[in-house]
């Protein structure tokens, strides 16, 4: 689960990381009022759960409350990478001397958290990572010992941070470690961590991702979920308890069982296709769940063909077939569909789908080949 900038920074602040003064507004009038309260220059920042807001015009400086109102009107009317802006954060503006990238995230290969830092932070950090990766420093953290102060000191030296800032930086680094650890975060990122012209260190931006599997023990964080930001598909996924991950290909997949879903995706690739999603409807899926899964697959405009690979066990193939029929009636799909049913009640399932205008297949290889051919038109 992603948190908004304002939510992340509120958490940072609780752990002693300095942030600019500011508040969230949902209307331009409110933004103006916050700017009046803050006095002086402010920055108006779109709150959407994507990166690169600055480059998209979603972060703007205002010299006075009137301009803040005007910019808020403009930003609240924007869409950034397909997401409508519903809230803006109005922060006291900072005069920036240096922008540092600083994050703690999971390093799966090392099986440890990792601290990542660069003196060349800000909006072009992706470019820095691509072109001058040596400017990015990584230090693994022992999960049992936690971040040690000497490690924070070491990276401060490594990025040539002037000695005057070591104390502040160490406090921020220890704070960010506390944030990461105590919230079950998979990412706690400050970009930029700035040094201001009046020589203060501030977290100007904040981004956090919380491990969904830990939300059961993070009820306060779970409450922060902004369902406005979820694609309608994600809401359905949670409602029906499906495992769904959208991918970039054009063959929609509906499979029961995670292992079978992975295999199906591999076999699609083996025959030159690209899966549009991973979808595990789970064991014992009934017609309603199958129909929901199919609606989700078909809302993806990239999907040019759908592959159903159902291995009946506890899941009954006739139930799945009923779900497919319900969904077809509702969604009226225009893309070809390939179906492979084996196992419990497969015969009944196939009979139900006889008049449904679907391409049938005996084996997974056969089904994948047919789906790839169908997607290529
Ligand atoms: P992002 O583009 O989504 O990462 O949004 P950020 O909050 O990181 O803002 C993007 C950029 O806007 C930052 O890297 C800064 O260069 C600039 N910026 C943000 N807040 C301020 C501010 O208070 N003062 C100044 N001068 N620049 C700011
Ligand atoms: Mn940023």
pLDDT digits (tens, 9 = 90+) for 6-34: 999 999 999 999 999 999 999 999 999 99
**Rg from Cα positions in the chain:** 25
Distance 8 CA to ligand 2 centre (A): 12
Distance 63 CA to ligand 2 centre (A): 21
Cα 264 to the chain's mean position, in Å?
24
Task: Please enumerate, as own/partner, the contacts of 131-136 that have beta carbons within 8 Å and a separation of 24 or more.
Answer: 136/101
Please give the class, per CATH, of domain 232-375. alpha beta
Pocket of ligand 1 (CB under 6 A): 43, 45, 51-54, 59, 61, 93-94, 96, 99, 122-123, 191-192, 204-205
Return the pLDDT at 318. 93
Task: Indicate the SS3 state at residue 120.
Answer: coil
pLDDT digits (tens, 9 = 90+) for 282-301: 877 778 888 899 989 998 89
Average pLDDT, the chain: 94
Task: Indicate the SS3 state at residue 27.
Answer: coil
304 close to 370: Cβ distance less than 8 angstroms: no
CA distance 305 to 118: 44
The structure's pTM equals: 0.78
Domain assignments of the chain as residue spans, ordered by start: 1-19+95-229, 21-93, 232-375
Return the pLDDT at 154. 97
The contacts of residue 86 (CB under 8 Å, 6+ apart) are 26, 47, 76, 228
DSSP letters for 61-113: EESSHHHHHHHHHHHHT-EETTEE---EEEEE---EEEEEEEEEEEETTTTEE
Return the pLDDT at 241. 86
Adjacent-strand bridge partners of 46: 88
pLDDT higher than threshold 80 for residue 173: yes
Q: Catalytic pick from 101, 180, 240, 319?
A: 101
pLDDT category, 36, cuts 50, 70, 90? very high
Does 189 participate in catalysis according to the annotation? Answer: yes
CA distance 9 to 180: 13
CA distance 303 to 104: 36
Task: Indicate the SS3 state at residue 343.
Answer: strand
The CATH homologous superfamily to which domain 21-93 belongs is: ATP-grasp fold, A domain (3.30.1490.20)
pLDDT category, 331, cuts 50, 70, 90? confident
Average pLDDT over residues 334-358: 93
CA distance from start to end of the chain:
37
Using alpha carbons, list the distances in angstroms from residue 337 to 16, 214, 246, 306: 55, 37, 18, 5
Give which of 115, 131, 125, 262 is closest to 176, Cα–Cα: 115
Task: Indicate the SS3 state at residue 345.
Answer: coil
CA distance 333 to 134: 50
Average pLDDT over residues 52-79: 97
**CATH code reported for the domain at 1-19+95-229:** 3.30.470.20
The contacts of residue 60 (CB under 8 Å, 6+ apart) are 43, 44, 71, 74, 75
CB burial of residue 131 (10 Å; 0-12, 13-18, 19+): exposed
Ligand 1 atom index nearest CA of 41:
23
Return the pLDDT at 6. 98
pLDDT category, 231, cuts 50, 70, 90? low
Average pLDDT over residues 261-273: 97
Average pLDDT over residues 232-260: 89
Ligand 1 atom index nearest CA of 55:
2
For a mutational test of ligand 1's pocket, the pick from 54, 78, 92, 207, i.e. the residue with the most ligand atoms closer than 8 A to its C-beta, is: 54
């Amino acid at each position: 689960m992603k948190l908004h900038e304002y939510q992340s920074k509120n958490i940072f602040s609780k752990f002693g990381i300095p942030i600019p003064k500011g508040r969230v507004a949902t209307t331009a009038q409110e933004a103006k009022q916050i700017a009046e309260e803050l006095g002086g220059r402010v920055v108006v920042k779109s709150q959407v759960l994507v990166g690169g807001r600055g480059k998209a015009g979603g972060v703007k400086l205002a010299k006075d409350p009137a301009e803040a109102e005007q910019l808020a009107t403009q930003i609240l009317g924007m869409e950034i990478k397909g997401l409508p802006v519903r809230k803006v954060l109005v922060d006291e503006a900072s005069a920036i001397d240096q922008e540092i990238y600083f994050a703690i995230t999971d390093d799966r290969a090392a099986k440890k958290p990792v601290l990542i830092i660069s003196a060349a932070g800000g909006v072009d950090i992706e470019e820095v990572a691509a072109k001058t990766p040596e400017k990015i420093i990584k230090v693994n953290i022992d999960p049992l010992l936690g971040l040690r102060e000497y490690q924070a000191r070491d990276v401060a030296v490594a990025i040539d941070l002037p000695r005057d800032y070591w104390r502040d930086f160490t406090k921020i680094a220890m704070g960010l470690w506390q944030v990461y650890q105590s919230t079950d975060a998979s990412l706690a990122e400050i970009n930029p961590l700035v040094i201001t012209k009046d020589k203060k260190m501030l977290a100007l931006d904040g981004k956090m991702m919380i491990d969904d599997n830990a939300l059961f023990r993070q009820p306060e964080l779970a409450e922060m979920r902004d369902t406005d930001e979820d694609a309608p598909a994600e809401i359905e996924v949670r409602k029906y308890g499906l495992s769904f991950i959208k991918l970039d290909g054009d063959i929609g997949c509906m499979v029961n069982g995670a292992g079978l879903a992975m295999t199906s995706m591999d076999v699609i690739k083996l025959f030159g296709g690209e899966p549009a999603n991973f979808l595990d409807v789970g064991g014992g899926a009934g017609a309603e769940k199958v129909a929901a899964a199919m609606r989700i697959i078909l809302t993806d405009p990239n999907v040019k063909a759908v592959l159903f690979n159902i291995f009946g066990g506890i899941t009954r193939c006739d139930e799945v077939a009923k779900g497919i029929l319900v969904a077809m009636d509702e969604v009226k799909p225009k893309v070809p569909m390939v179906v492979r049913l084996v196992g419990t009640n497969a015969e009944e399932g196939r009979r139900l789908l006889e008049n449904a205008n679907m391409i049938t297949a005996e084996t997974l290889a056969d089904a994948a080949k047919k789906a790839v051919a169908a997607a290529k038109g």
